[in-house]
């Protein structure tokens, strides 16, 4: 869709208001009308990125969450993983001020990490697992954080990043020492 490309170019050049206007007024409604679930999800993902770049994290979170039913309907586990991990990252960036919000972040990270492991995706295991381990360490759960960190180190080793894997293993050992 040509308008979608125009919106991407505008986004890339920093014209966020124009990109937002085109996506909201022209791209999303057309895709919604035609019932193309996957393309609509992609467009809404672009719209969420524009909201995030504008600093409207609540709108970005809401737009990503609108895509979750599409991921579930289509059985697209990778899309579900991506949505959950991005929403967790955005919630952390926005700031977690209650136990309920902390639980939402944990649930999002744990769900996306479980999908990454089930699908055997080392890059996703590293990215999401690192975030989950940090979250658990900050939540005073060092033993659980260490377990995830060990899995991240294993994934890094599979990716040929032995030096990074060793550094993460050292962090995991420190987390285990702190849990005693």
Domain spans of the chain?
A: 1-75, 76-180
Report how far Cα 158 is from the mean position of its chain's Cα atoms. Answer: 22
pLDDT at 1 (0 to 100): 53
> Span 1-75: which CATH code?
1.25.40.10
3-state secondary structure 40-61: HHHHHHHHHHHHHHCCCHHHHH
CA torsion angle for 166, 170, 172, 176 (degrees, to 10)? 150
Task: Give the integer Cα–Cα distance in Å for 125 and 107.
Answer: 16
The pLDDT of residue 33: 87
The tens place of each residue's pLDDT in the chain, 180 residues long, gives 577 788 888 888 888 888 888 888 888 888 888 877 888 888 888 899 999 999 999 999 999 999 999 889 889 999 999 999 999 999 999 999 999 999 999 999 999 999 999 999 999 999 999 999 999 999 999 999 999 999 999 999 999 999 999 999 999 999 999 887
- Tokens matching residue 1: 């869709």
Between CA 2 and CA 150 the distance in angstroms is 45
The Cβ of residue 136 has, within 10 Å, a number of other Cβ atoms equal to: 22
Query: Residue 63 contacts by C-beta under 8 Å, 6 or more apart in sequence?
Result: 44, 45, 47, 48, 51
pLDDT value at residue 10: 81
User: How big is the CA angle at 30 (ends 17 and 5), to the nearest 5 degrees?
Assistant: 50
Please state which of the four CATH numbers 3.40.50.10190, 3.30.470.20, 1.10.600.10, 1.25.40.10 is assigned to the domain occupying 76-180: 1.25.40.10
Q: Do domains 1-75 and 76-180 have the same CATH topology?
A: yes
C-alpha triplet 148, 153, 155: angle, nearest 5°: 95
Q: What pLDDT score does 26 carry? A: 86
Whole-model pTM: value is: 0.86
Distance of CA 31 to the CA centre of its chain: 24
């Amino acid at each position: 869709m040509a308008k979608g490309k125009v919106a991407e170019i505008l986004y890339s050049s920093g014209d966020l208001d124009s990109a937002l206007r085109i996506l909201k007024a022209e791209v999303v409604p057309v895709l919604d009308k035609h019932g193309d679930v996957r393309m609509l999800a992609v467009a809404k993902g672009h719209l969420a990125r524009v909201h995030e770049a504008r600093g409207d994290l609540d709108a970005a979170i809401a737009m990503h969450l609108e895509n979750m039913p599409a991921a579930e309907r289509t059985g697209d586990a990778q899309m579900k993983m991506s949505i959950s991990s991005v929403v967790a990252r955005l919630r952390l960036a926005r700031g977690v001020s209650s136990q309920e919000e902390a639980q939402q972040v944990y649930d999002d990270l744990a769900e996306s990490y479980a999908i990454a492991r089930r699908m055997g995706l080392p890059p996703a295991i590293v990215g999401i697992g690192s975030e989950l381990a940090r979250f658990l360490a900050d939540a005073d759960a060092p033993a659980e954080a260490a377990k995830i960190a060990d899995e991240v180190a294993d994934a890094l080793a599979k990716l040929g990043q032995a030096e990074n894997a060793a550094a993460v293993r050292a962090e995991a050992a420190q987390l285990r020492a702190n849990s005693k």
